């Protein structure tokens, strides 16, 4: 009845998928991520290997090698969580998947587990980019970096088109 009194949502916050330290994408040692070719967001240097859903949504794809997962959250943002750099070359070694394409997840649901020591021993960087692949559909996508984070803590601010 008084719908005009409701404030229109203009901003969405996405949580960290992993415990660690959030850093700007520019610190990722791969131009595909650091130059924003796949979208804007943030990276997290993980301190533990459990990867959680950053928001409610649907799993789009779980890569066969389990090094990355994509999902579309309820607001329409298309998220890519990429665990480590060049970890596709590990062929799933050290990774365990808990979801598959089409699964509906809630913020905080466990998506993947990774043995961070095994990734490091194999010579790969564990930094984990979290990207909004459809960045151009939003007014602003801003990574909140420079802080220690726990899963679910805000790390990406999305400002909706006005």
**CA nearest to 82, candidates 121, 58, 117, 54:** 54
Active-site residue, from 14, 82, 114, 130: 82
Residue 67 designated active-site: no
| Tokens encoding 117 | 């020591």
* Beta strands in 8-127, from DSSP E residues, in sequence order: 11-15, 20-23, 40-46, 50-52, 57-62, 68-73, 78-82, 95-97, 104-105, 110-114
| Helices of type H across 13-137 | 31-34, 116-121
What is the side-by-side order of every strand in the sheet holding 140-143?
11-15, 154-159, 140-143
Q: Which residues are catalytic?
A: 82
């Amino acid at each position: 009845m008084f719908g005009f009194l409701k404030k229109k949502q203009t901003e969405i916050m996405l949580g960290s998928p992993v415990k660690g330290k959030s850093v700007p994408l520019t610190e990722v040692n791969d131009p595909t991520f650091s130059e924003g070719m796949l979208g804007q967001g943030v990276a997290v240097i993980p301190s533990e290997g459990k990867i959680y859903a950053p928001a409610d949504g649907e799993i789009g794809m779980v890569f066969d090698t389990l090094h990355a997962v994509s999902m579309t959250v309820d607001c329409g943002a298309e998220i890519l969580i990429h665990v480590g750099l060049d970890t596709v070359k590990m062929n799933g070694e050290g990774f365990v998947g808990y979801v598959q394409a089409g699964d509906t997840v809630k913020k905080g649901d466990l998506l993947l587990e990774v043995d961070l020591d095994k990734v490091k021993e194999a010579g790969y960087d564990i930094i984990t980019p979290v990207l909004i692949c459809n960045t151009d559909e939003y007014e602003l996508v801003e990574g909140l970096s420079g802080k220690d984070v726990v899963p679910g803590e805000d790390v990406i601010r999305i400002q909706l088109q006005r």
